[in-house]
C-alpha cells in the first residue's frame, strides 16, 4: 500500500471503500458469473469497470419494462484497451465475429482508439471477454480508476519518430496495467492466487482516485487531442530522432451542468524531459495523482483539480522531488494542427495506407451502408493492418497501390463514401454513444448526430462553406466523451431534445469553447448558430476557421484554458458585435 504522510486524514468515498475491500478487483464477480443471475449487484458494478465492462440496460426498453413490472433489460458494454489503436487482420476478424455472435452486430471505434461492444447479455459476457483475450487483445484497464488506453498518432509510418511514439505508448500501457491476477482468474479461468497481498506494487489496494488518461504526439499533429488528457507528451524531433518530450498535465473534459466547481480544462505545460524518460515521466505524474488526488469526492477526483488547487509550480516541485532525472524548460512548439489521416496516403517502402470514414465510429450494416461487411471482406481478402484513429475512423495499412484501388471499389460497392467526397462538417464530426446504452445520457447523441450534421451541411453549403474545416461534436451529457469542449461547435445534452451549444475551440484542440447558448431545442440548433455562420462566411479572413473568427469577433487574443459547468452564454455579445 502506498503511503503519503503529508496528507490530512479525510473521509473516503464509497468507491474507495469498495476498491479497498475488493481483494484487488475480485469482489464477488466470479460467483455471480457462475450463478443464474442476469446482472451484478452492489460494489461489483464498480469493479467490473476495471475489467473493461460496464453494466448497462437498454434504455429504450426501460420504461416499458417498468410498466410491465419486469426488471431492466440488463446488458454489458465491453471495451478493449488497444494502445495506439493498432490491431492485426486476424484480431479484427475475431472482434467482428464476437460482435456478430454476442453483441448487437456492431463494433464501435472509440474516441480513444479502442473498440467497444454493446448489448452483450450476462450469459455471453465471459465468452466475449475470453474471446478478446484469445486474440491477444485485452479489456483489462480499458475502464476504471487506472491508466486508460494510451493514445498516439495513428499514422502507420515507420520513420524513427512514429515508431518511437508507438513503442512508448505500448510501454506506458504495459507498465501501468494493473498487476492483479483477478482478471485471469475470473475471465480466463486462471489459477487462483494463493495470496493477494502483494499484487499491486504500483496501484496499491485502492488504485487511482479516478481514471488517468495519457496521449503522445508529434508537435505538428495533434490528432490525439493532447490537451484533453491528464498527461501528455509532445515528442521533439531533431533530424530524425526524438530527443525528448514536452510534458503536459491536467487536461480533462468532464464537468456537471450548473456546477461552477466542475471544470473542463486543457492540460498545461510542465517542462521538457529527455527521450529516455518518457515512460517514467508518465508513471511519476500518475503516482502523484495516486497519492494526492481527491479520494473523498469523485466529482473532483481528477488530476486537473489537483493542479487547480496546487498551481503548476507546486506540481513541478513535486515532480522534481520524485523524478530521478531532470525536468528542463518547455521547448517552444508551433500551435498544433490536426490531421485525420483519411483517404489515400503514402506509407513507406512503396506501401500505402487508406483511411476509411466511419460515422461516429459505428461499424454496422444499416440502411444501404454496409460498412461492417465491407471491412470484413476487405480484411479477409487483403489482410491489411488496421489502426483506429482518435476521430473514430479506421486506417487500413501496409497496402500495395493496386490494393488501394480494390479497396475503394469494395467500399463503394457497399455504399461507403470516400472521405474526400464528404463535407467537412461530416468528416470531422463526432458523437458519443449516449442512448440507448449509456446510463448517464440525458439526451440522444450518436443516433441524432447524422441528421444534425445533415442540417449543418445544408446550411454551410448554402453559405459557400461546405469544405471549410470545422469540428462539430455532440454528447448526451456534460461528461464529454466525444471531446466537445475543444470543438468549433459542440452540442451537449441537457434533457431529451435540448442541448447547450458551445463555440470557439477548433481543430488544433488547444483552446476551450464558450457556452454560446443554453437550452436549445434540437430543431433550433441551426437557427441559433446561423447569424454567427453568416458572419463567418462574409467576414472571415483567408483560411480563418469559425473559432478563430469567433475569437476575433470577441476581441480575444488569449486561448481559453477551461470552462466551468456554470457560465454566462455569449450569444448576445456576439449579436452585438455582429450588428456593429
Ligand atoms: C468524467 C466523466 C465521465 C464519465 C462518468 C464517463 C462515462 C462513460 C460511459 C458510461 C461510457 C459508456 C457509454 C456507452 O458506450 O454506452 C463512456 C464512453 C466513453 N468515454 Fe466517457 N465518461 C466520462 C468522461 C469522458 C471523457 C472526458 C472522455 C475523453 C475525452 C471519455 C472518453 C470516452 C470514450 C472514448 C468512450 C467510448 C465511446 C466513445 O468513443 O464515444 N469519457 N464514458
Ligand atoms: S458523454 Fe455522457 S452520454 Fe455520452 S457516453 Fe459519455 S457519459 Fe454517456
Cα separation, 119 vs 117, whole angstroms: 7
Task: Give the position, in ligand 1's atom list, of the atom nearest the Cα of 446.
Answer: 41
**Closest to 562 (Cα-Cα) out of 508, 512, 500:** 512
> SS3 string of 138-168?
ECCCCCCCCECCCEECCCCCCCHHHHHHHHH
Provide the pLDDT for residue 55: 98
Angle at 512 between CA 509 and CA 516, to 5 degrees: 130
Q: DSSP code of 94?
A: H
DSSP secondary structure of 2-71: ---TTSPP-PPPHHHHHHHTTTTTTTTHHHHHHSS-SS--TTHHHHHHHTTEEEEE-HHHHHHHHHTTPP
Task: Give the position, in ligand 1's atom list, of the atom nearest the Cα of 361.
Answer: 40
Catalytic residue check, 213: yes
Q: Check 438, 473, 494, 571 and give the catalytic one.
A: 438
DSSP secondary structure of 507-526: TTS-S--EEEEEEEEGGGHH
Cα separation, 207 vs 6, whole angstroms: 19
Of 432, 446, 513, 563, best ligand 1 pocket probe by most atoms within 8 Å of the beta carbon? 432
Residue ranges lining ligand 2, Cβ < 6 Å: 432-434, 438, 440-441, 445, 475-477, 479-481
Q: With residue 310 as reference, give the H or E element that holds it.
A: helix 303-310
Length of the chain: 580
Which residues, at least 6 apart from 375, have a Cβ–Cβ distance to it below 8 Å?
92, 96, 356, 363, 394
Q: DSSP code of 481?
A: T
Q: Check 211, 283, 295, 427 and give the catalytic one.
A: 211
Catalytic residue check, 265: no
Cα separation, 247 vs 264, whole angstroms: 19
Cα separation, 96 vs 103, whole angstroms: 10
> Ligand 2 mean position to 480 CA, how many Å?
6
> Ligand 1 mean position to 445 CA, how many Å?
12
Task: Give the position, in ligand 2's atom list, of the atom nearest the Cα of 439.
Answer: 8
> Residue 229 in contact with residue 111, Cβ under 8 Å?
no
Task: Give the position, in ligand 2's atom list, of the atom nearest the Cα of 441.
Answer: 3
> Ligand 1 mean position to 402 CA, how many Å?
39
For 268, what's the count of Cα atoms within 13 Å in the CB-facing half-sphere? 18
Catalytic residue check, 481: yes
Distance of CA 285 to CAs 6, 82, 105, Å? 17, 21, 39
Task: Give the position, in ligand 1's atom list, of the atom nearest the Cα of 228.
Answer: 30
Q: At residue 433, what are phi and psi to the nearest 5 degrees?
A: -70, -45
Catalytic residue check, 286: no
**CA-based end-to-end distance of the chain:** 63
> Ligand 1 mean position to 209 CA, how many Å?
17
Ligand minimally distant from the alpha carbon of residue 441: 2
**Closest to 253 (Cα-Cα) out of 243, 240, 241, 263:** 263
Provide the pLDDT for residue 39: 98
Provide the pLDDT for residue 4: 46
228: Cβ below 6 Å to ligand 1?
yes
> Ligand 1 mean position to 211 CA, how many Å?
11
> Ligand 2 mean position to 223 CA, how many Å?
21
144: Cβ below 6 Å to ligand 1?
no
Provide the pLDDT for residue 1: 34
> Ligand 2 mean position to 432 CA, how many Å?
6
Cα separation, 468 vs 525, whole angstroms: 19
**pLDDT tens sequence for the chain (580 residues):** 344 445 545 688 999 999 999 999 999 999 999 999 999 999 999 999 999 999 999 999 999 999 999 999 999 999 999 999 999 999 999 999 999 999 999 999 999 999 999 999 999 999 999 999 999 999 999 999 999 999 999 999 999 999 999 999 999 999 999 999 999 999 998 878 777 767 899 999 999 999 999 999 999 899 999 999 999 999 999 999 999 999 999 999 999 999 999 999 999 999 999 999 999 999 999 999 999 999 999 999 999 999 999 999 999 999 999 999 999 999 999 998 999 999 999 999 899 999 999 999 999 999 899 999 999 999 999 999 999 999 999 999 999 999 999 999 999 999 999 999 999 999 999 999 999 999 999 999 999 999 999 999 999 999 999 999 999 999 999 999 999 999 999 999 999 999 999 999 999 999 999 999 999 999 999 999 999 999 999 999 999 999 999 999 999 988 889 999 999 999 999 999 999 8
Q: Check 49, 126, 148, 283 and give the catalytic one.
A: 148
Q: DSSP code of 221?
A: B
Amino acid at each position: 500500500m502506498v503511503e503519503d504522510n503529508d496528507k490530512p486524514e479525510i473521509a473516503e468515498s464509497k468507491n474507495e471503500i469498495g476498491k479497498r475491500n475488493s481483494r484487488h478487483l475480485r469482489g464477488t464477480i466470479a460467483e455471480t458469473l457462475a450463478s443464474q443471475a442476469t446482472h451484478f449487484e452492489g460494489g461489483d458494478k464498480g469493479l467490473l469497470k476495471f475489467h473493461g465492462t460496464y453494466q448497462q440496460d437498454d434504455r429504450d426498453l426501460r420504461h416499458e419494462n417498468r410498466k410491465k413490472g419486469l426488471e431492466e433489460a440488463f446488458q454489458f458494454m465491453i471495451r478493449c484497451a488497444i494502445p495506439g489503436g493498432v490491431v492485426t487482420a486476424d484480431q479484427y476478424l475475431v472482434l467482428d465475429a464476437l460482435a456478430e455472435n454476442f453483441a448487437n452486430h456492431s463494433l464501435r471505434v472509440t474516441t480513444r482508439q479502442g473498440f467497444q461492444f454493446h448489448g452483450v447479455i450476462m450469459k455471453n459476457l465471459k465468452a466475449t471477454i475470453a474471446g478478446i483475450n484469445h486474440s491477444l487483445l485485452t479489456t483489462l484497464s480499458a475502464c476504471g480508476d487506472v491508466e486508460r488506453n494510451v493514445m498516439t498518432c495513428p499514422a502507420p509510418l515507420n520513420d524513427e519518430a512514429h515508431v518511437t511514439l508507438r513503442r512508448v505508448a505500448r510501454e506506458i500501457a504495459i507498465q501501468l496495467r494493473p498487476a492483479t491476477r483477478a482478471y485471469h482468474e475470473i475471465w480466463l479461468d486462471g489459477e487462483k492466487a494463493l495470496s493477494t497481498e502483494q499484487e499491486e506494487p504500483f496501484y496499491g489496494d485502492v488504485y487511482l482516485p479516478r481514471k488517468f488518461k495519457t496521449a503522445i504526439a508529434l508537435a505538428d499533429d495533434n490528432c490525439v487531442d493532447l490537451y484533453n488528457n491528464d498527461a501528455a507528451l509532445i515528442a521533439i524531433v531533431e533530424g530524425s530522432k526524438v530527443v525528448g518530450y514536452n510534458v503536459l498535465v491536467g487536461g480533462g473534459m468532464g464537468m456537471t451542468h450548473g456546477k461552477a466547481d466542475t471544470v473542463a480544462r486543457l492540460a498545461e505545460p510542465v517542462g521538457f524531459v529527455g527521450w529516455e524518460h518518457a515512460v517514467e515521466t508518465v508513471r511519476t505524474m500518475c503516482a502523484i495523482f495516486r497519492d494526492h488526488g481527491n479520494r473523498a469526492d469523485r466529482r473532483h477526483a481528477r488530476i486537473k483539480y489537483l493542479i487547480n488547487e496546487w498551481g503548476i509550480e507546486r506540481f513541478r516541485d513535486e515532480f522534481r522531488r520524485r523524478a530521478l532525472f531532470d525536468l528542463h524548460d518547455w521547448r517552444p512548439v508551433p500551435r498544433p494542427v490536426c490531421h485525420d489521416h483519411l483517404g489515400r496516403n503514402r506509407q513507406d517502402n512503396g506501401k500505402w495506407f487508406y483511411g476509411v470514414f466511419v460515422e461516429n465510429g459505428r461499424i454496422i450494416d444499416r440502411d444501404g451502408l454496409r460498412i461492417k461487411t465491407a471491412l470484413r471482406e476487405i480484411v479477409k481478402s487483403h489482410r491489411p493492418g488496421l489502426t483506429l484513429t482518435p476521430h473514430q475512423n479506421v486506417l487500413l495499412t501496409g497496402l500495395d497501390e493496386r490494393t488501394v484501388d480494390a479497396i475503394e471499389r469494395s467500399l463503394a460497392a457497399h455504399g461507403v463514401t470516400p472521405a474526400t467526397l464528404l463535407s467537412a462538417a461530416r468528416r470531422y464530426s463526432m458523437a458519443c454513444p449516449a442512448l440507448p446504452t449509456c446510463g448517464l445520457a440525458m439526451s440522444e447523441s450518436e443516433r441524432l448526430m447524422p441528421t444534425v450534421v445533415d442540417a449543418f451541411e445544408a446550411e454551410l453549403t448554402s453559405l459557400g462553406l461546405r469544405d471549410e474545416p470545422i469540428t462539430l461534436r455532440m454528447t448526451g451529457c456534460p461528461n464529454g466523451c466525444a471531446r466537445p469542449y475543444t470543438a468549433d461547435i459542440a452540442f451537449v445534452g441537457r434533457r431529451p431534445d435540448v442541448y447547450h451549444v458551445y463555440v470557439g475551440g477548433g481543430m488544433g484542440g488547444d483552446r476551450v469553447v464558450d457556452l454560446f447558448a443554453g437550452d436549445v431545442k434540437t430543431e433550433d440548433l441551426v437557427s441559433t448558430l446561423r447569424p454567427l455562420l453568416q458572419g463567418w462566411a462574409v467576414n472571415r479572413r483567408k483560411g480563418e476557421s469559425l473559432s478563430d473568427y469567433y475569437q476575433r469577433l470577441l476581441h480575444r487574443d488569449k486561448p481559453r484554458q477551461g470552462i466551468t459547468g456554470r457560465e454566462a452564454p455569449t450569444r448576445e455579445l456576439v449579436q452585438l458585435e455582429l450588428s456593429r
